[in-house]
C-alpha cells in the first residue's frame, strides 16, 4: 500500500471513531430531549446535537462519504428548525431522528477497510426521504407548539451547569487509541520480569560470594603451609650455599602469593557488586511499581463509558416489545479498569435485557396493578472500600416468577418434582436462576430463552473475582447487586504439574488439596470415586480431561485437588502441586478466542509461560466425560450418529448450507423443498427433528408446524424455524403454532443452530 | 601539403552513413525511432519479462521451503518461553510470550495435513499480522528476504484439498511455497472458539 493509501486508511479509522462518538452523543441528546426538559435545557441540548451533526457532516465530507454527509445535512436542518421551534418535537419526529442515527451508524465504513458499505443506497434514500418530508411538512407558525416564551431561553454559552450526558473535555487532555494503551500496559507489566530478573542476579552473586567464603576457609587452612614451605626451602638453600630451588618451583610459590592477593581483590569487588545489584533491584522495583501504578491509573475509565450506550439499548428493546421504560443512571463518574468494564458490558446487557424482557410489564398490565405505565430501570454505581465497586440494576417490574423458575428447573431435571422447595428461600432461588438451562421463556429465540443469560452473568462475575446477589419483591420489582474489583488485580493461583506440563488453577476454586493412597480410589458404577471428608466425590485424572497423553504415573500415592465451581465439587488427580502464588492473567491473542478448559496464561518469574485452567470448564468437561468411556475425550459427532433431521427450505443455497452444517456434526439429513413436500416426507419416514424455513411457496413454515402439531403421529417432533423475519409478531406466531425454537437468519451461525438442535433432540 | 577537401568530405559523409543507420531519414521517421528507443530505455528493468514482484520472507520448516509476504511479517522471534497448549486443534502447537502478549503458534504442516516428515528444530517463530489478527508461524530457520515474481507462481498441486489451496498463493519453480497470508489471517475458521 502506498503512503497515500496508508494515510487514507488511518484517516478513515480516525473518522470511524469520531463518527461513533458524534452519533452516540446525538442519540443520548435525543433521549434527553424526549424527557421534556426545561426550555433552557431543550435549547442547550439542541445546540449540542446540532453541533455534533455539523461536525460529522464536515468530517464525512473530508473522507468522501457523500451519503453520510447528505444525511447529516438534513439532520442538521431538522435540528435548526427544532431550535427555531418551527418543528414540533413529536414522538414521530424522534422516531425518525433515531432511525437516521441508526442508519448512519450502519453506514460508517467497517474499521480497517474500504469505502462506504455496499447496499446502503436504498437505506440512505429512504432516510433522506423521511427527513425531507419532515422538513416540508413543517407546521405553520400558527400551529407552533406551546413552548416556554423565548425570553426565558438562555444561550447555552451562559449556562454554567455542564450537560451531564456529555463530559466536558478539558484542554489538557489528549486522545490515545486503545491499541496503544494496551501495548503500553503489556510492556509495563513486562517490567515486572526485569524486577524478577534483578532478584535472580542478586541471588547469583550471593552464591558466588558463598563460593568465595569456602575458598577462603580452605585457603586460610593451607596458606600457613605454603609460607612454611617457602621458608624451609630458603633455609635449605642458605645452608647448602647453592640454589637447589628451580625457577619453576619459585614461580609456583610466587603464584600462590599472587593468587592470594587476587582472590581477595575479586572477593571485595563481588561484595561491592552485590551491593550495587541490590540497590539497582530496589530502584528498578520502585520504578516498575510506580510505572505500573500510573499505567493502571490510565486504564481506569469512568463507568459512563460503559453505561452511555445502554439508554438506547433499553429504549430500542422496550419499543420492540411495546413497553415503556425509563432508564436512570447514578454514579457514572466512578472510575473502573477498562478490562473490567469490558467484562461488565456483557453482564449489563444480559441484566438489562432480562429486566425489559421479563421484569417490566406491558403498560396495560402496569396500570391494572396500580403502577405508572412507564417502568423504570435504575442502575446505581457506588464505590466500596478495598477498591471495589457495587453496581445495582433494579427494575420496578413484576419480580421473579418463582413458580415458573421452579417449573423450568423441574423440566430440566435440576429439581425433582417431589422436591418441596420453598421459593421464599432466597438461596435456593439463587442457585436455580444461575443454573444454565433454566429459562422461563416459552420459546427459544436468538436473544433469550436458552436459560444461559444468568449462568453467563454469574460465570463472568466469578471470573472477575466478584459476586452477585439478587432480591425480588413479587409484583414490585427485582434487583441484582454486583460487587466487582475496580482494578484488574492479580489473583492467587496454584501451580500444578500434569503430564510434565505446568498449569495454574485459581486458588478460589480449590476447596482442598489431599494426598491419598492409590487403594483409596473406589469404583462405583464403573466410575472412579474418592472419599474426602466423609463425602464421596467423582474422581478424574486432570491429564485425561485436558487430553494429555498419559505418562503412566505409578506412584503409590495420588495428589488430589477438590475443585468447586458451578455448584459442583469434583476431585481431580494431578502429578504434583508445586506452589501457590500471585498470578497476573494474560489474555490470549484473538486467534484463541475461547479455548476449552483454559482461560488464559500467565508468565512465571522464570519467564516461563503457563496456561491458567478454567475451573468451570473443568467441571463441565468432567461431567460430560462421565458418559464417555473412561479416559477418552467427548466426541459430539458420535452422539449425533443416527439422529435424523429433516431440512425444509426452498432456497437451494440455504438448503445446502443447513445440510452441510448438520451433516458435519454427524446427523443424518434429508431435505425437502417446501412445506407440503416436507410434510409428505414426514409421513413416510421417521425423523427426530425438523429444521424449517418460514417463507416458502405452497406451504410455509408456520403452516407446516401447525400441521405437524395437529398430526397425532408427528406431534411430538421438535420444530426449529430458521427465518429472516425478525419481528415480535412472527416470533409469537411461531409460539402459537407450536415451534420449539426460532432462529433469525441475520444472527445465524453454526454453533447457534447446532446447540439448539442438540438441546431439542 | 595538398589536400583534396572534396575527397575528405565524401569519406566523412560515408562514415557517418555507416555509423548512423537513421541518417537521412525523414524527421518524422527519426522521431518515431527515437521515441520507441526512449520507451525501451525508460522501462523498469525486468518489468516486461517477469511482471510484478512481491517481497517475501523465506523460511524452512521440516525440509520444505516456504515464504510469507513481507507486509504481513511483523518480526521473527526466537522460540523462547514457548508452551504447548492442550484442548486446541493439532495445528495450534502452543503459545508464546512476545513482549507480554500471549500469541498462538501455528504449525502450517499440520494445518495442511501434510505428513510429519523431517525433523524440525523448532527454532523460531515468524510473527504475522493483518489488522488485529495476529499469530506466530513455527519455523526451523529463516533464510531471509527475497522477491518473488507473481508470474512465476504456479497454482498448488491439485492433490491439495480446498483449505490448503486457499492458504497457498502459489509455488515457484524452485519449489518455494508462497503462503497466502491475507487469507490465513482473515480466516474465521482458524480462530479457536470452543465451549465445553
Q: What is the pLDDT of residues B57-99, one digit of tens each?
A: 999 887 789 999 999 999 998 887 789 999 998 889 899 988 7
Distance, CA of A425 to chain centre? 31
pLDDT of A156 reads: 42
For an interface test with A, give the residue of B97, B107, B134, B135 to mutate (most A CBs within 10 A): B97
User: Which of A17, A536, A340, A68 lies closest to A528 in space, CA to CA?
Assistant: A536
Chain A hits for B72, CB-CB cut-off 8 Å, are: none
Kindly report, residue by residue over A407-438, the tens digit of the pLDDT.
Answer: 776 666 655 554 454 545 555 665 666 665 55
* Relative orientation angle of helices A728-737 and A701-710, to the nearest 10 degrees: 20
Distance, CA of A192 to chain centre? 26
Q: Tell me whether residues A607 and B81 touch, CB distance under 8 A.
A: yes
Tell me the C-alpha distance between A537 and A525, whole Å.
Answer: 13
pLDDT of A164 reads: 43
Chain A hits for B99, CB-CB cut-off 8 Å, are: 186-187, 190
Is the pLDDT reported for residue A160 higher than 70? no
pLDDT of A568 reads: 83
pLDDT of A713 reads: 83
C-alpha cell at A411: 423440566
How distant, in Å, are the alpha carbons of A113, A221, A619, B149, B162 from that of B69?
Answer: 19, 68, 43, 12, 21
Main-chain phi, psi angles of A429, to 5 degrees: -60, -45
* Residue B93 included in any domain: yes
Residue with cell 522460540: B79
Tell me the C-alpha distance between A281 and A287, whole Å.
Answer: 10
Residue with cell 510429519: B116
Tell me the C-alpha distance between A287 and A191, whole Å.
Answer: 9
Q: Tell me whether residues A589 and B96 touch, CB distance under 8 A.
A: no
- What average pLDDT score do residues A648-663 get? 76
Main-chain phi, psi angles of A81, to 5 degrees: -65, -35
* Residue B195 included in any domain: no
pLDDT of B163 reads: 65
Contact assessment for residue A752 and residue B193, using Cβ atoms and an 8 Å cutoff = no
Q: What is the largest CA-CA distance in chain A?
A: 140
Chain B hits for A592, CB-CB cut-off 8 Å, are: 85, 88, 92, 95, 104, 191-192
Q: Tell me whether residues A589 and B99 touch, CB distance under 8 A.
A: no
* Relative orientation angle of helices A701-710 and A675-684, to the nearest 10 degrees: 30
How distant, in Å, are the alpha carbons of A274, A391, A614, B126 from that of B196?
Answer: 51, 30, 11, 31
pLDDT of A606 reads: 73
Does one domain contain both B10 and B55? no
Does one domain contain both B73 and B21? no
pLDDT of B94 reads: 92
Is the pLDDT reported for residue A299 higher than 90? no
Q: How confident is the model at residue B181 (pLDDT cuts 50, 70, 90)?
A: very high
How are strands ordered across the β-sheet holding A568-574? A510-517, A557-565, A568-574, A535-541, A527-532, A522-524
Q: How confident is the model at residue A641 (pLDDT cuts 50, 70, 90)?
A: low
How distant, in Å, are the alpha carbons of A683, A687, A688, A740, B99 from that of A691?
Answer: 16, 11, 10, 10, 48
Q: Distance from A187 to chain B by nearest Cα, in Å?
A: 6
Does one domain contain both B61 and B126? yes
Closest A-chain CA to B127:
A589
Q: How confident is the model at residue A658 (pLDDT cuts 50, 70, 90)?
A: confident
Contact assessment for residue A322 and residue A369, using Cβ atoms and an 8 Å cutoff = no
| Number of compact structural domains in chain B | 2
pLDDT of A113 reads: 55
Closest B-chain CA to A588:
B102
- What average pLDDT score do residues A118-126 get? 75
pLDDT of A690 reads: 93
C-alpha cell at A650: 426452498
Element containing residue A240 per DSSP (H, E): helix A178-240
pLDDT of A17 reads: 81
pLDDT of A504 reads: 95
Comparing A173-187, A710-724, A727-741, B33-47, the range with the smallest average pLDDT is B33-47
Kindly report, residue by residue over A222-239, the tens digit of the pLDDT.
Answer: 888 888 888 888 888 888
* Residue B163 included in any domain: yes
Q: Distance from B60 to chain A by nearest Cα, in Å?
A: 23
Q: Tell me whether residues A588 and B193 touch, CB distance under 8 A.
A: no
Does one domain contain both B33 and B56? no
Is the pLDDT reported for residue A756 higher than 90? no
pLDDT of B87 reads: 92
Chain B hits for A189, CB-CB cut-off 8 Å, are: 100
Residue with cell 500444578: A496
Q: Tell me whether residues A186 and B82 touch, CB distance under 8 A.
A: no
Contact assessment for residue A659 and residue A647, using Cβ atoms and an 8 Å cutoff = yes
DSSP 3-state of A81: helix
- What average pLDDT score do residues A340-356 get? 87
Kindly report, residue by residue over A364-385, the tens digit of the pLDDT.
Answer: 889 998 888 899 999 999 998 8
- What average pLDDT score do residues A310-329 get? 88
| DSSP per-residue letters across A120-174 | -HHHHHHHHHHHHHHHHTPPPGGG------GGG---TTT--SPPTTSPPPPTT--
DSSP 3-state of A353: helix
pTM, whole model, 2 decimals? 0.51
Closest B-chain CA to A608:
B81
Q: Tell me whether residues A588 and B196 touch, CB distance under 8 A.
A: no
Q: How much of chain A exceeds pLDDT 90, in percent?
A: 11
Closest A-chain CA to B186:
A591
pLDDT of A632 reads: 32
Question: What are A693's strand-pairing partners?
Answer: A722
Nearest 5°: the CA angle A565, A571, A573 is 125
pLDDT of A636 reads: 40
ipTM over 0.90: no
Does one domain contain both B68 and B9? no
Is the pLDDT reported for residue A149 higher than 60? no
User: Which of A13, A33, A143 lies closest to A78 in space, CA to CA?
Assistant: A33
Does one domain contain both B102 and B70? yes
- What average pLDDT score do residues B27-36 get? 83
For an interface test with B, give the residue of A595, A600, A613, A617 to mutate (most B CBs within 10 A): A595
Is B163 in the A-facing interface, judged by CB distances under 8 Å? no
Does one domain contain both B27 and B111? no
Q: How confident is the model at residue B121 (pLDDT cuts 50, 70, 90)?
A: low
Does one domain contain both B68 and B159? yes
Q: Tell me whether residues A591 and B192 touch, CB distance under 8 A.
A: yes
How distant, in Å, are the alpha carbons of A394, A436, A450 from that of A405?
Answer: 19, 12, 13
pLDDT of A485 reads: 86
User: Which of A592, A750, A584 lies closest to A665 in space, CA to CA?
Assistant: A750
- Select the residue of B82, B191, B194 nearest A596 (Cβ to Cβ): B194
Does one domain contain both B77 and B15? no
How distant, in Å, are the alpha carbons of A494, A577, A611, A645 from that of A574?
Answer: 12, 7, 15, 42
For an interface test with A, give the residue of B69, B74, B86, B188 to mutate (most A CBs within 10 A): B86
Closest A-chain CA to B84:
A501
- Report the C-alpha dihedral over residues A616, A619, A621, A626, rounded to 10 degrees: -160
> Is the model more confident about A340 or about A650?
A340
* Relative orientation angle of helices A3-33 and A91-107, to the nearest 10 degrees: 160
Sign for the CA dihedral angle at A211, A217, A219, A222 comes to: negative
Chain A hits for B104, CB-CB cut-off 8 Å, are: 588-589, 591-592
Chain A hits for B137, CB-CB cut-off 8 Å, are: none
* Residue B196 included in any domain: no
Does one domain contain both B19 and B113? no
Contact assessment for residue A27 and residue A312, using Cβ atoms and an 8 Å cutoff = yes
User: Which of A355, A388, A408 lies closest to A461 in space, CA to CA?
Assistant: A388
C-alpha cell at B112: 495442511
pLDDT of A414 reads: 59
Tell me the C-alpha distance between A262 and A151, whole Å.
Answer: 95
Does one domain contain both B29 and B80? no
Indicate the average pLDDT of chain A.
79
Is the pLDDT reported for residue A446 higher than 80? no
Q: Distance from B36 to chain A by nearest Cα, in Å?
A: 30
The CATH number for B64's domain is 2.40.50.180
* Residue B25 included in any domain: yes
Tell me the C-alpha distance between A223 and B11, whole Å.
Answer: 106
pLDDT of A308 reads: 86
Tell me the C-alpha distance between A418 and A557, whole Å.
Answer: 42
Q: Tell me whether residues B134 and A590 touch, CB distance under 8 A.
A: yes
Closest B-chain CA to A498:
B86
Is the pLDDT reported for residue A332 higher than 80? yes
Q: Quote the domain boundaries for residue B102.
A: 50-190
Is the pLDDT reported for residue B109 higher than 60? yes
Is B63 in the A-facing interface, judged by CB distances under 8 Å? no
* Relative orientation angle of helices A402-411 and A426-433, to the nearest 10 degrees: 50
Kindly report, residue by residue over A57-67, the tens digit of the pLDDT.
Answer: 877 877 778 88
Is the pLDDT reported for residue A630 higher than 50? no
Question: What are B126's strand-pairing partners?
Answer: B76, B137
Does one domain contain both B29 and B90? no
Comparing A29-33, A158-162, A582-586, A655-659, the range with the smallest average pLDDT is A158-162
* Residue B185 included in any domain: yes
Number of alpha helices (DSSP H) and beta strands (DSSP E) in chain B: 6, 12
Tell me the C-alpha distance between A93 and A135, whole Å.
Answer: 10
DSSP 3-state of B115: coil
DSSP 3-state of A306: helix
Tell me the C-alpha distance between A546 and A499, whole Å.
Answer: 10
Please state whether beta strands A719-723 and A689-693 pair in parallel, antiparallel, or not at all (unpaired).
parallel
- Select the residue of B71, B102, B131 nearest A588 (Cβ to Cβ): B102
Q: Distance from A727 to chain B by nearest Cα, in Å?
A: 29
Q: How confident is the model at residue A272 (pLDDT cuts 50, 70, 90)?
A: very high
Is the pLDDT reported for residue A170 higher than 60? no
Amino acid at each position: 500500500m502506498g503512503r497515500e493509501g496508508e494515510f487514507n486508511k488511518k484517516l478513515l479509522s480516525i473518522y470511524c471513531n469520531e463518527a461513533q462518538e458524534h452519533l452516540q452523543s446525538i442519540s443520548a441528546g435525543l433521549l434527553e430531549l424526549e424527557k421534556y426538559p426545561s426550555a433552557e435545557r431543550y435549547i442547550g441540548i439542541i445546540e449540542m446535537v446540532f453541533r455534533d451533526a455539523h461536525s460529522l457532516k464536515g468530517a464525512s465530507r473530508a473522507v468522501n462519504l457523500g451519503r453520510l454527509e447528505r444525511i447529516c445535512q438534513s439532520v442538521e436542518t431538522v435540528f435548526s428548525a427544532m431550535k427555531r421551534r418551527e418543528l414540533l418535537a413529536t414522538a414521530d419526529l424522534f422516531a425518525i431522528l433515531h432511525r437516521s442515527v441508526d442508519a448512519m451508524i450502519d453506514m460508517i465504513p467497517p474499521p480497517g477497510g474500504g469505502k462506504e458499505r455496499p447496499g446502503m443506497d436504498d437505506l440512505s434514500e429512504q432516510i433522506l426521504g423521511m427527513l425531507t418530508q419532515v422538513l416540508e411538512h413543517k407546521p405553520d407558525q400558527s400551529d407552533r407548539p406551546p413552548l416556554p416564551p423565548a425570553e426565558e431561553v438562555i444561550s447555552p454559552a451562559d449556562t454554567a451547569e455542564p450537560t451531564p450526558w456529555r463530559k466536558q473535555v478539558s484542554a489538557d487532555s489528549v486522545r490515545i487509541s486503545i491499541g496503544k494503551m494496551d501495548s503500553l500496559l503489556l510492556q509495563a507489566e513486562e517490567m515486572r520480569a526485569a524486577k524478577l530478573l534483578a532478584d535472580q542476579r542478586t541471588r547469583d552473586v550471593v552464591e558466588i560470594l558463598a563460593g568465595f567464603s569456602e575458598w577462603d576457609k580452605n585457603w586460610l587452612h593451607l596458606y600457613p603451609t605454603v609460607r612454611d614451605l617457602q621458608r624451609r626451602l630458603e633455609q635449605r638453600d642458605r645452608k647448602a650455599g647453592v640454589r637447589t630451588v628451580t625457577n619453576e618451583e619459585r614461580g609456583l610459590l610466587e603464584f600462590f602469593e599472587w593468587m592470594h592477593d587476587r582472590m581477595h581483590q575479586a572477593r571485595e569487588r563481588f561484595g561491592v557488586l552485590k551491593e550495587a545489584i541490590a540497590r539497582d533491584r530496589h530502584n528498578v522495583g520502585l520504578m516498575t511499581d510506580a510505572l505500573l501504578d500510573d499505567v493502571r491509573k490510565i486504564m481506569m475509565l469512568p463507568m459512563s463509558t460503559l453505561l452511555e450506550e445502554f439508554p438506547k439499548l433499553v429504549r430500542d428493546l422496550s419499543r420492540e416489545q411495546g413497553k415503556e421504560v425509563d432508564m436512570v443512571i447514578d454514579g457514572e463518574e466512578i472510575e473502573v479498569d477498562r478490562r473490567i468494564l469490558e467484562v461488565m458490558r456483557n453482564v449489563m446487557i444480559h441484566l438489562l435485557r432480562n429486566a425489559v424482557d421479563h421484569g417490566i410489564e406491558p403498560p396495560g398490565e402496569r396500570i391494572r396493578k396500580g403502577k405508572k405505565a412507564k417502568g423504570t430501570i435504575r442502575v446505581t454505581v457506588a464505590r466500596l472500600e478495598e477498591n471495589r465497586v457495587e453496581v445495582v440494576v433494579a427494575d420496578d417490574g413484576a419480580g421473579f416468577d418463582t413458580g415458573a423458575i421452579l417449573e423450568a428447573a423441574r423440566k430440566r431435571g435440576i429439581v425433582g418434582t417431589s422436591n418441596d422447595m420453598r421459593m421464599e428461600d432466597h438461596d435456593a432461588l439463587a442457585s436455580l436462576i444461575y443454573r444454565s438451562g433454566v429459562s422461563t421463556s416459552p420459546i427459544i429465540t436468538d436473544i433469550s430463552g436458552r436459560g444461559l443469560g444468568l449462568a453467563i452473568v454469574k460465570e463472568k462475575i466469578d471470573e472477575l473475582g466478584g459476586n452477585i446477589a439478587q432480591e425480588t419483591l413479587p409484583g414490585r420489582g427485582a434487583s441484582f447487586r454486583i460487587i466487582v474489583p475496580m482494578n484488574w488485580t492479580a489473583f492467587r493461583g496454584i501451580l500444578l504439574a500434569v503430564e510434565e506440563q505446568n498449569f495454574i488453577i485459581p486458588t478460589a476454586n480449590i476447596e482442598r488439596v489431599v494426598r491419598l493412597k492409590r487403594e483409596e480410589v473406589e469404583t462405583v458404577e464403573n466410575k472412579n470415586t474418592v472419599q474426602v471428608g466423609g463425602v464421596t466425590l467423582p474422581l478424574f485424572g486432570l491429564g485425561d480431561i485436558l487430553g494429555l497423553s498419559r505418562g503412566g504415573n505409578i506412584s503409590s500415592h495420588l495428589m488430589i485437588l477438590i475443585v468447586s465451581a458451578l455448584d459442583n465439587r469434583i476431585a481431580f488427580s494431578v502429578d504434583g502441586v508445586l506452589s501457590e502464588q500471585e498470578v497476573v492473567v494474560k489474555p490470549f491473542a484473538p486467534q484463541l478466542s475461547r479455548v476449552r478448559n483454559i482461560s488464559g496464561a500467565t508468565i512465571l518469574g522464570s519467564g516461563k509461560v503457563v496456561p491458567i485452567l478454567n475451573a468451570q470448564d473443568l467441571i463441565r468437561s468432567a461431567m460430560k466425560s462421565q458418559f464417555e468411556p473412561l479416559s477418552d475425550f467427548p466426541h459430539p459427532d458420535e452422539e449425533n450418529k443416527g439422529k435424523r433431521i429433516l431440512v425444509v427450505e426452498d432456497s437451494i443455497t440455504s438448503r445446502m448450507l443447513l445440510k452441510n452444517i448438520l451433516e458435519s456434526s454427524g446427523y443424518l439429513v434429508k431435505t425437502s423443498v417446501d412445506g407440503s413436500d416436507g410434510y409428505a416426507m414426514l409421513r413416510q419416514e421417521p425423523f427426530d427433528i425438523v429444521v424449517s424455513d418460514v417463507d416458502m411457496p405452497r406451504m410455509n413454515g408456520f403452516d407446516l408446524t401447525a400441521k405437524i402439531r395437529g398430526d397425532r403421529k408427528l406431534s411430538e417432533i421438535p420444530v426449529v424455524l430458521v427465518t429472516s423475519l425478525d419481528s415480535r409478531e412472527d416470533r409469537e406466531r411461531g409460539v402459537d403454532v407450536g415451534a420449539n425454537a426460532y432462529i433469525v437468519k441475520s444472527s445465524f451461525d453454526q454453533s447457534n443452530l447446532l446447540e439448539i438442535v442438540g438441546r431439542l433432540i | 601539403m595538398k589536400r583534396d577537401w572534396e575527397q575528405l568530405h565524401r569519406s566523412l559523409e560515408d562514415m557517418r552513413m555507416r555509423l548512423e543507420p537513421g541518417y537521412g531519414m525523414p524527421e518524422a521517421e527519426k522521431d518515431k525511432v527515437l521515441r520507441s528507443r526512449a520507451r525501451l530505455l525508460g522501462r523498469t528493468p525486468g518489468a516486461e519479462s517477469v511482471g510484478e514482484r512481491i517481497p517475501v520472507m523465506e523460511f524452512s520448516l521440516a525440509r520444505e521451503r516456504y515464504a510469507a509476504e513481507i507486509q504481513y511479517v511483523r518480526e521473527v522471534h526466537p522460540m523462547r518461553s514457548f508452551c504447548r497448549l492442550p484442548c486446541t486443534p493439532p495445528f495450534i502447537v502452543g503459545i508464546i510470550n512476545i513482549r507480554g502478549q500471549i500469541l498462538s503458534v501455528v504449525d502450517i504442516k499440520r494445518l495442511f495435513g501434510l505428513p510429519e516428515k523431517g525433523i524440525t528444530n523448532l527454532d523460531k517463530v515468524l510473527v504475522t499480522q493483518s489488522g488485529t489478527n495476529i499469530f506466530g508461524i513455527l519455523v526451523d530457520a529463516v533464510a531471509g528476504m527475497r522477491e518473488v515474481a507473481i508470474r512465476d507462481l504456479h497454482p498448488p498441486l491439485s492433490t491439495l484439498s480446498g483449505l490448503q489451496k486457499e492458504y497457498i498463493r502459489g509455488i515457484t519453480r524452485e519449489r518455494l511455497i508462497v503462503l497466502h497470508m491475507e487469507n490465513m489471517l482473515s480466516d474465521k475458521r482458524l480462530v479457536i472458539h470452543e465451549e465445553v
